[in-house]
Amino acid sequence: MGAYFSLRGEGEWDQTVSETMHPSIWTNVAFTPLSRAQKMLLHRGGDLQFAFPGGIRQGGDTIQVSEVVDLSLLVGFEEAAGRLFSALLVRAPLASAPHTYSRAVEEVLLTAPGARPAKSAELTGKASSNGGGNEIFSGGMSLESLDKEEPPAQVTEWEYLLLYAVKEGVLAFFGNDFESCEEVLRDIAAHYGELPTAANASTSGASLAASTRVKTAMYPIGRAPPPVGRVFTELIDSDLKREFAIRCEAEEQSSCTNCVVFCLRMMLGMKMSVRGWEIQQICESRPDLGPLVGSAAGDAWEQLWRRVRT
């Protein structure tokens, strides 16, 4: 990005921002609902609920955010086109209180070819002798109670939770080290405008391109005040109701969002903040970024900070 600003002015950067494609799971963000062990999507238009004590639930998936978390801003700078990316990093500092991700697991019944599918009573236990379909089973459960049971789920524990806003919603990534979270942002920025395929995502060439074209910087924001999970749920739910837009007019700001605005609203909702001059200082302290990047990124961030509200 330093090379970009050494050759181009602020006007060209504004044009680049205006012409930037929306980050989408269908074009330039690697995500598939068939592989959700470490990554899930809180999608727009879906019903988001709070799950006690600190959970964000959508469908059969639940993220329980740790009661004690440190927030950091993770910023990515794409070298060639001068693009800016932003994600919120949520770390659970206590090993005894990690984030948990409860992922719904569908049960699939396998039967031999030509075999008769089992009936409900055969799957869940034998019915009582009078044959009543809604009678109590030998295990003390009825069909009605079985229908109300929670589906089986796989629960995993994580130290890091990365939140990144895309066109379809908010992408949540789980990891146990900072480097894996940083790589997610690098991958999005490095493959921006490219179709995310298994081939280019798995090759060492793609990783090399990400490391050379994309620079990342992390700014620690601080310890988030409680209740973290409930506030996160309310803020994300509000953001999912907004329209994704790379740029919008000032009067439309309240109804629009993007990756940077999402991070700003999350911080403001937690009574925390990062100012433009702080972004500028980070860039100026990095030889690979420098004062030109710091000035442009800091000014852009400060303008949004003054305009964006939760």
Q: Contact 262/239 with Cβ under 8 angstroms?
A: yes
Q: Where are the domains of the chain?
A: 2-104+152-307
pLDDT tens by residue, 39-86:
999 999 889 999 999 999 998 899 999 999 999 999 888 766 667 889
pLDDT tens by residue, 208-247:
554 567 888 899 999 999 999 999 999 999 999 999 988 7
Q: Using CA atoms, how far apart are residues 86 and 217, in angstroms rounded to an integer?
A: 10
Q: Contact 173/39 with Cβ under 8 angstroms?
A: yes
Most confident of 7-16, 163-172, 190-199: 163-172
pLDDT of residue 125: 36
Top pLDDT among 297 and 191 is at 297
269 Rama class: left (phi>0) / alpha (psi -120 to 50) / beta: alpha
pLDDT of residue 199: 40
* 196 has a pLDDT exceeding 70: no
